[in-house]
Structure 1
Amino acid sequence: MASFLATRASRLLDTLHAIRWLGPLVLRLVFGYFWLETGIAKVHNLDVFTQRFIGWGIPFPAFSAGLSAWTELLGGLLLMLGLCTRLVCIPMIINMAVAVGLVVSSNLMGLDDYVEADEIVYSLIFFWLLMAGPGKASLDTLLARGLGIRAAQ
């Protein structure tokens, strides 16, 4: 019985190892689409989004709102494509840090509130992508291969 279970477990692990590229791909596609969608909505309603920035007291509200909206739109698109993944995570993390520092933190009372804040979770996902990269099924990996660069898998 133990041998049977060990064989099954080994096969399962081998299968999961063979399709490990699927995790980063699905994450990038879904998470990237989320940001693409929110960015498009903000770009199309930039006046309303700018008014929110004014209400939050964010400096240079028109510029900041436009920068934030376009960062989300282009960042989401690039994440979906797996193009410049690590690089694009940097402005996305900065965008989340500004949101936490200037908007969200006023509503957070303790560690539990911070841990449960969406922007913190988003920042952690961006951080993971920054550290781990886009995975095997990405334009980054394809370009690296084409340039003769060994991309981390």
Structure 2
Amino acid sequence: MRQFVAETCSRLLRILYNGRWLGPLAVRMVFGYFWLETGIAKVHNLDSFTQRFIGWGIPFPAFSAALSAWTELLGGLLIMLGLFTRLVTIPMIINMIVAVTLVVSSNLMGLDDYVEADEVVYSLIFFWLLMAGPGKISLDTLVARWLGIRTQE
């Protein structure tokens, strides 16, 4: 019985290890699409998005709103493709820091509120992508292989 359990666990772990590329791919597809979709909506309604920036007191509201909207749109697309993934997470994290600092923080009362804020969770996912990269199934990995750069994937 002990041998059976050990072999079964070993097989299961091997299957999970061989499928480790699915996690980053699923996160990139869903999370990237989310940002692509929100970016498209903001770009198409830039006047009303700019008005929100004015209401929040964000400096240079027209420029800042356009920059934020296009960052989300292009960032979401690049994350889905797995292209320049680590680089694109940096402006996305900055976008979230600005959102937390200038918009969300006025409604947050304590540590629990910060931890539960969507923008903080988004920042954590962007940070994970920055550190871990896009995964095996990505244009970044394809380009790296084409350039002869060895990846850990």
2:122 aligns with 122
CA distance in 1, matches of 2:127, 2:73: 18
Unaligned runs of 5+ in 1: none
Output the TM-score relative to the length of structure 2.
0.99
Amino acid at match of 1:2: R
TM-fit CA distance, 1:152: 3.1
Query: Which runs of structure 2 are paired with 1:12-27 in the superposition (5 Å)?
Result: 12-27=12-27
Contact 1:133 1:152 in 2 (8 A): no
- The code of the aligned residue for 1:23 comes to G
1:152 aligns to 2:136 (yes or no):
no
CA RMSD of aligned residues (A): 0.5
Q: Where does residue 139 of structure 1 map in the other structure?
A: 139
Partner Cα separation in structure 2 for residue 19 and residue 92 of structure 1: 28
Q: Which residue of 1 aligns with 2:50?
A: 50
Q: TM-score, normalised by structure 1?
A: 0.99
2:33 is the counterpart of 1:59: no
Corresponding position of 1:5: 5
Aligned match of 1:39? 39
Structure 2 unpaired stretches of 5+: none
Give the letter for the 1:123 counterpart.
S
Q: Deviations over 1:94-143 (max 9, x none)?
A: 00000000000000000000000000000000000000000000000000
Runs of 4+ more than 3 Å apart: none
Following superposition, the deviation at residue 32 of structure 1 comes to 0.1
Percent of pairs with identical residues: 82
TM-aligned CA deviation for residue 46 of structure 1: 0.1
Offset at 1:151? 2.1
Aligned letter for 1:133? G
Following superposition, the deviation at residue 6 of structure 1 comes to 1.1
User: Partners in 2 of 1:110 and 1:4 — Cα distance?
Assistant: 50
Aligned residues: 153
Q: Distance in 1 between matches of 2:23 and 2:46?
A: 34
